[in-house]
Amino acid sequence: MAGMGQIFSRAFFWTYERGTWQYDLAVILILIFVLLTPRKWFNEQPQVGDTAYAGQVQRLTSATGLDSYRVDARLLAPPVQTPALENDLHNALKKTLPELQNGRFSISKIVPVRDEAGTVIAYDVDVHR
């Protein structure tokens, strides 16, 4: 007869052969855990997209036909290329600011704002209407 330490060791390292009652019991316990665990225990996800940081667009300056905004970098997915960044910024400004919801504007300049560690925390965006 196996001792308790050996039983726990074999169960932990999954050394039972398929088709044995110990293997079947372990599978049943795993299924019970997966199917009966409350969903809220596993629903902790970071907020991403425009709803998480909707207030993170600030107007810096405004001139005739040219406006400058600061867009929080957390509002965007990490950009791979400049055209993708420009498209993401255009969509973020269009969704966030009522005066730009018609989508008839172009981005003329994008300047990343960095913290002390060099991480991009925001983008200064010049918009031409």
Q: Give me the residue spans of the domains in the chain.
A: 4-42, 57-128
Identify residue 18 by its one-letter amino acid code. R
Residue 93 has pLDDT above 80, yes or no: yes
Which of 45-59, 79-93, 114-128 has the lowest average pLDDT?
A: 45-59
Predicted structure pTM score: 0.45
Contact 49, 107 (CB under 8 A): no
Q: What is the pLDDT of residues 24-66, one digit of tens each?
A: 988 999 999 989 988 778 776 655 544 444 457 777 777 777 8
Q: What is the mean pLDDT of residues 88-113?
A: 82
Residue 83 is predicted with a pLDDT of 73
- Pair of tokens at residue 47: 């907020």
Rounded Cα distance between 49 and 85, Å, is: 14
Residue 97 is predicted with a pLDDT of 82
Residue 13 is predicted with a pLDDT of 83
Q: What is the mean pLDDT of residues 8-31?
A: 86
Residue 105 is predicted with a pLDDT of 83
Average pLDDT along the chain: 78
Residue 44 is predicted with a pLDDT of 66
Residue 61 is predicted with a pLDDT of 76
Sheet holding 120-128, edge to edge: 57-63, 66-72, 120-128, 106-114
